[in-house]
Amino acid sequence: MKALRICVLFAALLGPGCGAPPPAATTYVTTINPLRAIVAEVAGDRAEVTVLLAPGASPHTYEPRPSDALAAESAVALFCAADDIDGWAAKLPAKERVALFDLVPKAQRLPYDDEGHADHDGHAHEHGADNGHFWSDPAIVKSILPQLADRMSVLDPGGAGTYRANAARFADDLDTLDAELKAAFGALGGRPVFMFHPSWSYFMHRYGVAVAGMVEPYPGKESSPKYLKGLIDTARARGVRAVFTEPQLPRRPAEVIAEECGLPLFEIDPNGGVEGRRTYRELIEYNAAMLKKALQ
């Protein structure tokens, strides 16, 4: 009888079962912050969603650490983007691996253009290869939510109702954000800028912002003097309004063009993860504000 009372006391203190710890929380791990922001919207309070890359790190040149392998192995699933962005995620052990770009309808995928059709290991993509930086278009993010909620429901059946309800709410939020961006950029279309690399192409395509060229066709490979000279000539011929840098990549090539042409420099942050750029809406609104400032 005394032993039973002790067991009841421990059960009250430790949760279900005599002395047993509570079940482990559902944990998902993502490679980069934009994916964390998307998955977290669907997960809500049902699961913990973590990210491997720290703010300011480039996914294109990242080398996984032992701690990344441990995090991936411990999680219910690892969410990655696409081979052209975080292909290194294939090296990590994971119970389940979900590539979010695989959920994007083929008709909505954009090819790399002639100035950005190289991959980030220094090997050329075939012309027309798909650009995996899909998350800058809210409408495309909305399009993957039903499949994403379904995948998460299979991984965690007890959370199916929560995942699907959160996905529906997030879809409504994305509709609102999309309408706001269309209104904001409706009168600014056609004014050309230079982007640093093709990380924000989906946003530019959806909202009609003209991209006259890429400062670096792919990260990690320095642009040649001949290539930069061609961009300078293009900037003058097309009346380019601004040059964009990215916090994950070196600024100097963009500075050379800006100095030579007398153009202002602005910064696009495709990954975010810092204060004011953590949630999906925050990330999109921050970059939209930078673009509007450059185009006005």
Do both 48 and 32 map to the same domain? yes
Residue range of the domain that includes 94:
18-109+131-180
Do both 157 and 246 map to the same domain? no
**End position of a domain, from candidates 144, 163, 180:** 180
Do both 192 and 98 map to the same domain? no
Query: What letters, b where the CB count within 10 A reaches 16 and e where it falls short, cover 39-65?
Result: bbbbbbebbebebbbebebbbbebebe
Do both 235 and 186 map to the same domain? yes
Do both 242 and 213 map to the same domain? yes
- Alpha helices, DSSP H, located in 209-279: 225-238, 252-261
**End position of a domain, from candidates 118, 153, 180:** 180
Please give the tally of structural domains in the chain.
2
Bridge partners of 17, per DSSP, are none
Do both 104 and 162 map to the same domain? yes
Tell me, yes or no, whether 227 lies in a domain.
yes
Do both 218 and 263 map to the same domain? yes
Q: What is the mean pLDDT of the chain?
A: 86
User: Mutual orientation of helices 160-185 and 33-43 as an angle, nearest 10°?
Assistant: 130
Do both 148 and 37 map to the same domain? yes
Tell me, yes or no, whether 211 lies in a domain.
yes
Residue with tokens 């791990």: 29
pLDDT computed for residue 216 by the predictor: 84
pLDDT computed for residue 125 by the predictor: 42
Do both 168 and 210 map to the same domain? no
Tell me, yes or no, whether 135 lies in a domain.
yes
Bridge partners of 266, per DSSP, are 244
Do both 79 and 165 map to the same domain? yes
What would the pLDDT profile of 234-289 be if each residue is shown by its tens digit? 999 999 999 999 998 888 999 999 999 999 999 999 999 999 999 999 999 999 99
Is-contact 76 95, C-beta < 8 A? yes
Q: Which residues of the chain have pLDDT under 50?
A: 1-24, 114-127
Tell me, yes or no, whether 3 lies in a domain.
no
Tell me, yes or no, whether 259 lies in a domain.
yes
pLDDT more than 70, % of the chain:
85
The 3-class SS string of 93-107 reads CCCCEEEHHHHCCHH
Do both 176 and 190 map to the same domain? no
Tokens matching residue 59: 């996914």
Tokens matching residue 246: 């990215």
pLDDT computed for residue 188 by the predictor: 84
Do both 172 and 194 map to the same domain? no
**How would you list the strands of the sheet with 265-267, edge to edge?**
211-214, 193-195, 243-245, 265-267
